[in-house]
Structure 1
């Protein structure tokens, strides 16, 4: 019986590794196709040339800190991906055969928004990871965060922090108050819900405020 269990375990692990290898190859091919169609530096430059693009230095620190706190609080400590979160999500998704768990870092989200749609597939997630690794090699953490806040969707047809800040509060991102900043930082997770449901938005804002408090305490960052 023990030998049978051991053999079945080895077989199961072998199948998982085989499936992972197949998706790895398919994802890498998709990644190469993406960057061949438009290199990463060209993609990034096109984002920076948009009239709505705002440098990180012109954005309220409350907002940028809140984004890191709620989306990826170890952003400045890890690389393109966070290993434990990635492995946990990958195993869950492989077993299910579809994307049921995220685990994406801010860098991975930038990769997704630069090249891929919101339709989540295992192949796309692998391709996204390869792009994220390139981004980490080419740009600083602040530059990646700057890209993130300028390309994510904030609801009600607003892409990027400038459009969102002007739409919701009629002010430039540098002028956002603490409450306004924490409200906007919470939107990208589910913009269609939070932008139309005030109670859900307030609950999400409370989560952001708590995460920001913890983040600043851990890193000794003060308002």
Structure 2
């Protein structure tokens, strides 16, 4: 019953996405694409393929601060919604209709995982619909923690790092579980725009993004104000030390 309810909500969202653009046809074509990718490589096979990679990092080996930071900045209602954050999606739909193009995503962590597993980065209404169907398939078959674990093992962190293990090693020369609070919050902000926030490009922009991450964590009570200030102060000290060494 719960899944049926989610499915009905999905159809409603899809029709909204397709308003003014033949929503019914969009729904059917998106479903066909979903069926093609799932038939080509079943979800369970795709998940096992990801989990079998040598650098796959279980959620239990990630710092709590990192996990909380990812949820806080990427999908604050992740543990409450069924694959689609209707509030974020509604806002995105409004912007998209206003701009008459897919300018805003509003994607949940589950939707981003669906995209990473089966689709390209191309922004089209049709791909978005297919992505929604895959997202619900993920929610039906896997727990939230399993989805989050798969997500951090498939997202891009810039500089050629395609999983949290590679990013922790590449940026900090550490195992993921060894990251401190400063590193955890810094890393959590990068996937939003890897080409912009990669630490090898313009680290000052990554630090600006980190402030957003930390503020989100305070807002959602993952951190106290004092803890947040400590993390940000540590970042300022690191930056100052780097400038002194130049």
Alpha-carbon distance in structure 1 between the residues aligned to 2:96 and 2:22: 11
The alignment status of 1:175 with 2:166, answered yes or no, reads no
- Aligned-residue offset at 1:97: 4.2
Q: Give 2:122's aligned residue.
A: 119
Deviations 1:24-49 (A, max 9, x none): 11111111111011011100110000
Structure 2 unaligned segments of length 5 or more: list them. Answer: 1-15, 229-246
SS in 2 for 1:57: helix
- Are the equivalent residues in 1 in contact too, given 2:59–2:149 (CA < 8 A)? yes
Deviations 1:163-195 (A, max 9, x none): 000000111111100000001000000111111
Query: How many residues are paired up?
Result: 208
Q: 1:214 aligns with which of 205, 214, 219?
A: 219
Is 2:68–2:222's contact at 8 Å kept on the other side of the alignment?
A: no
Whether 2:205 is the aligned partner of 1:200: answer yes
1:31 to 17, 31, 34: 34
Q: Is the 8 A contact 2:68 2:217 kept in 1?
A: yes
Q: 2:113 maps to which residue? A: 110
- Shift of the alpha carbon at 1:18? 6.3
* Superposition CA RMSD, Å: 2.1
Q: Distance in 2 between matches of 1:155 and 1:18?
A: 35
Residue 82 of structure 1: CA displacement?
A: 1.2
- 1:119 aligned counterpart, secondary structure: coil
Change (3 A) 1:217 1:161: closer
- Out of 41, 44, 51, the residue aligned to residue 48 of structure 1 is 51
Out of 47, 52, 64, the position equivalent to 2:67 is 64
Structure of higher RCO (CA pairs closer than 8 Å, 6+ residues apart):
1
- 1:154 pairs with 157, 160, 173, which one? 157
Q: Residues of 1 paired with 2:112 and 2:193: CA distance?
A: 14
Tell me, yes or no, if structure 1 residue 80 matches structure 2 residue 83: yes
For residue 19 of structure 2, give the secondary structure of its aligned residue in structure 1.
helix
Instruction: Give the secondary structure class of the aligned counterpart of 2:57.
Output: coil
State whether residues 197 and 206 of structure 2, in contact with CA within 8 Å, keep that contact through their aligned partners in structure 1: yes
Q: Show the counterpart of 1:185.
A: 188
1:165 equivalent among 141, 164, 168: 168
In 2 relative to 1, CA 128–173 (structure 1 residues): closer, same or farther, beyond 3 Å? same
> Normalising by the residue count of structure 2, what TM-score does the alignment of the two structures yield?
0.80
> What's the CA shift for 1:208?
0.6
TM-score (norm 1): 0.87
